[in-house]
């Protein structure tokens, strides 16, 4: 079991996935994109003709589905790596992510994933430092200007990311919050390399336990 966790949270387009993946590669740690898990449930719901508004059915589907998130994303053995990035999923995912039983099923799997890592895990999402790993080794909160986040998201559009931010910040269960003990990094106008260096040097400057 590994207890080394870098938790990276932040709104859509703040650079979480890019930074988290690069930090993990630099350190030789595992990487977990938790948003991909919530997204995969939307794809599976459409495949099974389950309405995303049916909380009970979506919760049951989330609890019994086998989700694998790595270089490819699979749900119940179907590769959904590309299917999780459509406009429809961008639209549906924040609603599915408000359902408490969906969240608790995903949180259990996220902790299991980190337990199985050989060295440490870089985990990114919305509630990683607050709920999933409140005792993470290092907590990072990424932000960027709305214009920059919209530019990074290209076709998704500013309105869609604002709508998701709004739902993610205001839901009752595990809303997107910046924990007081997280290091805030504004990624606007900064290169990925610079941010990765900052995160790695934060980790290296921690007192050895
Ligand atoms: O990449 P981007 O930040 O746009 O989205 P994502 O990380 O793929 O997450 C998609 C959606 O899943 C978010 O807008 C949240 O509604 C939800 N999510 C969440 O609630 N908790 C997480 N730990 C990760 C994602």
pTM of the predicted model as reported, rounded to 2 decimal places? 0.96
Treating both helix axes as pointing N-terminal to C-terminal, what angle do 55-64 and 34-47 enclose, rounded to 10 degrees?
110
User: pLDDT band for position 102 (50/70/90)?
Assistant: very high
Tell me the C-alpha distance between 157 and 130, whole Å.
Answer: 28
- Cα 74 to averaged position of ligand 1 atoms, centre (Å): 17
Note the helical H segments in 48-191. Answer: 55-64, 87-96, 100-115, 146-153, 158-170
List own/partner pairs for 158-164 with CB under 8 A and 24 or more apart.
160/87, 160/90, 160/91, 161/11, 161/12, 161/13, 163/94, 164/11, 164/12, 164/90, 164/93, 164/94
List pLDDT tens digits, range 106-133: 999 999 999 999 999 999 999 999 999 9
Q: Domain 5-200 adopts which CATH fold?
A: Rossmann fold (3.40.50)
Closest ligand 1 atom number to CA of residue 156 = 4
156 secondary structure, DSSP code: G
Average pLDDT of 76-96?
98
- Cα 208 to averaged position of ligand 1 atoms, centre (Å): 32
Task: Express the helix, strand and coil content of the chain in percent, nearest 5 each.
Answer: 50, 15, 35
Given a cut of 80, is residue 209 above it in pLDDT? no
Nearest alpha carbon, ligand 1 atom 23: 125
Closest ligand 1 atom number to CA of residue 16 = 3
Given a cut of 50, is residue 1 above it in pLDDT? no
Nearest alpha carbon, ligand 1 atom 8: 35
- Ligand 1 pocket, CB under 6 A: 12, 16-17, 34-35, 38-39, 93-94, 97, 125-128, 164, 168
Q: Which of 111, 131, 135, 116 is nearest to 175 (CA)?
A: 131
Given a cut of 90, is residue 2 above it in pLDDT? no
Residue spans of the domains in the chain: they are 5-200
- Cα 143 to averaged position of ligand 1 atoms, centre (Å): 14
List pLDDT tens digits, range 39-76: 999 999 999 999 999 999 999 999 999 999 999 999 99
Residue 185 contacts residue 142 (beta carbons within 8 Å) = yes
- Cα 83 to averaged position of ligand 1 atoms, centre (Å): 15
């Amino acid at each position: 079991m590994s207890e080394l966790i870098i938790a990276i949270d932040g709104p859509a387009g703040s650079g979480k996935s890019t930074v988290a993946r690069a930090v993990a590669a630099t350190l030789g740690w595992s990487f977990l994109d938790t948003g991909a898990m919530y997204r995969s449930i939307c794809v599976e719901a459409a495949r099974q003709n389950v309405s995303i508004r049916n909380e009970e059915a979506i919760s049951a589907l989330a609890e019994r589905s086998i989700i694998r998130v790595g270089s490819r994303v699979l749900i119940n053995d179907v590769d959904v790596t590309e299917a999780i990035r459509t406009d429809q999923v961008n639209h549906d995912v924040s609603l599915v992510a408000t359902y408490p039983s969906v969240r608790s099923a995903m949180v259990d799997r996220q902790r299991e994933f980190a337990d199985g890592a050989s060295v440490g895990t870089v985990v990114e999402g919305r509630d990683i430092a607050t709920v999933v790993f409140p005792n993470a080794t290092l907590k990072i909160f990424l932000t960027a200007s709305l214009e920059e986040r919209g530019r990074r998201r290209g076709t998704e559009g500013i309105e869609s990311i604002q709508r998701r931010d709004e739902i993610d910040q205001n839901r009752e269960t595990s809303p997107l919050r910046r924990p007081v003990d997280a290091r805030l990094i504004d990624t606007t106008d900064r290169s990925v390399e610079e941010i990765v260096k900052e995160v790695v040097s934060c980790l290296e400057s921690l007192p050895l336990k």
